[in-house]
Structure 1
Amino acid sequence: MTYYLGIDGGGSKTYALLCDEHGNVLGKGRSGNGNHQISATEAAASIREASFAALAEAGLQLGDIKHAYLGLAGADRKTDYDILHPMIRGIGFTNYTLSGDPMIGLRAGTGRPYGVALICGTGTNAAGRNPQGQHYQCGGFDYMYGDFGGGGSLNIEVFRTVIRAWDGRESPTLLTAPLLKLLGYEWVDDMYNDFLDHGKHVPLDAARLLFPAAAEGDAAALAILQHQGMELGKAAAAVIHKLGMEKDTFDVVLVGSLLTRGDRGWIRGPISQAVQEAAPLAAVVTLSTEPVVGAVWSALESDGLTITSDIYEKMRAFQDFDLIPITTGQE
């Protein structure tokens, strides 16, 4: 029996999933921040704890793992890998592959080993792999470096939209009442002054207020979500053109909470239009399982195995990590 480990390290959670060569899930682990750009110390601890929790559940040791595949947020450039490889080896990994998190989201969402992944969670990212195995990433940093959106930016868009409606620069918005409730204020001027006086930051949850407001037809919310979709569509088209995939048949996999939980087409619509124009044979699909499943499949493939239809069926719908307590308490 041979064993494989997949790890998905994100900015708020790290998941580990362990299976055998037949795709039987034997162990699971969940921990906190796995992005070294937020905190390398936290990331190392989270990857270690999630991995060892999965190993403990399976009754195995790290040395029993034939191959591990780690898809980590923040694994973007050579400088990142120069930090991450010593970190991963320091945990005890020897036979492993390391990539950015878009690639495991891509692998989890398509039956092909190539395609394009668009991430819209805390931040945004776009990456792809063509049938020849070439890889390209577009974005994944922040607004200054060309990106727009993700929960870490759309929360600000919600806040400033409410401020602009309050001070008369924009029309009234349905975002006002739910934002005041979320932040615990009765009036916008109280919120405005308290944030200014105390240097407060808008919580990520504010981004989720866009969806119910858009569902009620709020023009400001709709404009923000459509802008997000247009920007992600541009990123997808950039990846497609860079990799020469205009005539290929492949999937564009939508990954991240803002794309998979709540969007009714406000973001996806502009993405689909941009993808259709860039690559008419491509299909836009929404990820329906955990990206860590793609990490496990990538671990098997890195060892020369083929993901059979039986393995797909066993693991495609796997998504019960929210039932596992976070071992580090870093949410």
Structure 2
Amino acid sequence: MYFLGIDGGGTKTEFLLVDEKGGLVSQKRSGTISYRQIGMTACIRLLKDIIHSMTEGLEDEVGICLAFPNWGESRANDAFFTKHLDEISSHPIWVVNDSAAGWAGSLALSPGINLVAGTGSIAYGRKEDGKWARSGGWSDAFSDEGSCFWLGKKTLELFSKESDGRAEKGSLFTLIREYFLLESDMDLIDIFENTLRNNRTKVADLQKILLKAAMEGDEAAKNLYKEAASELALIVSAVYDKLAFEGTVSVSYSGGLFHAGDLILHPFQEKLAGKKIRFQKPRFSPVQGAVLLAASHWGKTFSAAEDIIDNLDGQGE
């Protein structure tokens, strides 16, 4: 039997096919499969085409774990998508929320909590008995606190305050003006309305400007990372409390925001200092987590997940 793991993110989607020993067969990458961004029809077509290209000619069955963005968040869309699974592939597909693959990869199916803070933010945890809980990731319109998208919006907010004189000007003010080639600060309004408003990725990318400002010593920029850390700690705490873990809990983290290093990690860990938590870097990437979930779902256990480590790239961040 083969196992295909699919990790659908807000920006890209990873596909990873392994054999029964965990050996690499093939891997691919595409754009997002989030139906909220590209529509359900395009999502189904993309999955169908790539899965077919990866499994064509294989004689044995392929167990597929699809870590799907927004899964479990709309009963109507879940039902519609489920009706099209046979169209996507003749092989069996098990669908989970993409946050489950983040947990499975980061903790190699071990009990604990994984926080993803990239374009969006969400935490997923699971206990030894299989009980699970999630927090965050409701909607980019009113959730995703602490994420790159959230910080991107905060970056624009800070710039507007500095331009008005509601906040003291720092490095960020100059960096934003240079980045957008602003002749007038008010030009940013048209840029947002015409270019940024409906593009989560571009808004999230503004966090990189904030990071540069913070690294140049901009105190207001640093404080935004502290605010983000507080929000992320609340997301993790909610899962921790829902599952009522006993003893010390492993907490892992992944996503582009953590490229900010200690600017986000130190305040994040400080906010959780009162809980029995052991922080650890991810052992495997989310797409490898999807492979582990697929194998586990169809009764295969890789030896401590080490069977897939030697042959595959894209390990945990």
By the TM > 0.5 criterion, same fold?
yes
Counterparts of 1:19-58 in structure 2 under 5 Å?
Answer: 19-38=18-37, 39-55=39-55
Q: Describe the shift of the 1:30–1:126 C-alpha distance in structure 2 as closer, same or farther (beyond 3 A).
A: same
Which digits, 9 at most, give the CA deviation of each residue in 1:142-190, with x for residues without a partner? 3665542323222111112111101100010211232223323244244
Q: Give 2:34's aligned amino acid.
A: N
Check conservation: 2:10, 2:120, Cα contact below 8 A: no
Question: Which 4+ runs in 1 deviate beyond 4 A?
Answer: 143-147
Deviates more, 1:156-165 or 1:265-274: 265-274
Which residue does the alignment assign to 1:179? 176
Counterparts of 1:1-331 in structure 2 under 5 Å?
Answer: 2-38=1-37, 39-55=39-55, 59-60=57-58, 64-77=60-73, 79=75, 80-142=77-139, 145-192=142-189, 194-195=190-191, 199-201=194-196, 203-204=202-203, 205-245=205-245, 247-259=246-258, 262-278=259-275, 280=276, 282-287=277-282, 289-309=284-304, 310-314=306-310, 318-319=313-314
Deviates more, 1:14-23 or 1:77-86: 77-86
**1:37 Cα deviation after fit:** 2.4
Gaps of 5+ in 2: none
What SS does the corresponding residue of 1:224 show, helix, strand or coil? helix
Check conservation: 1:70, 1:99, Cα contact below 8 A: yes
Q: Percent identity?
A: 25
How far apart are the structure 2 equivalents of 1:141 and 1:187? 35
Q: Give 2:244's aligned amino acid.
A: G
How far apart are the structure 2 equivalents of 1:127 and 1:290? 15
Q: Give 1:4's aligned amino acid.
A: F
Aligned residue pairs, count: 307
What SS does the corresponding residue of 2:263 show, helix, strand or coil? coil
Q: Give 1:24's aligned amino acid.
A: G
**1:94 Cα deviation after fit:** 4.4
Which digits, 9 at most, give the CA deviation of each residue in 1:82-113, with x for residues without a partner? 23322333202542221111111111111343
**TM-score normalized by the length of structure 2:** 0.87
**1:201 Cα deviation after fit:** 2.3
Q: Give 1:29's aligned amino acid.
A: K
Across the aligned residues of Structure 1 and Structure 2, the Cα RMSD in angstroms comes to 2.4
How far apart are the structure 2 equivalents of 1:51 and 1:272? 39
Gaps of 5+ in 1: 321-331
Check conservation: 2:123, 2:235, Cα contact below 8 A: yes
**1:44 Cα deviation after fit:** 1.5
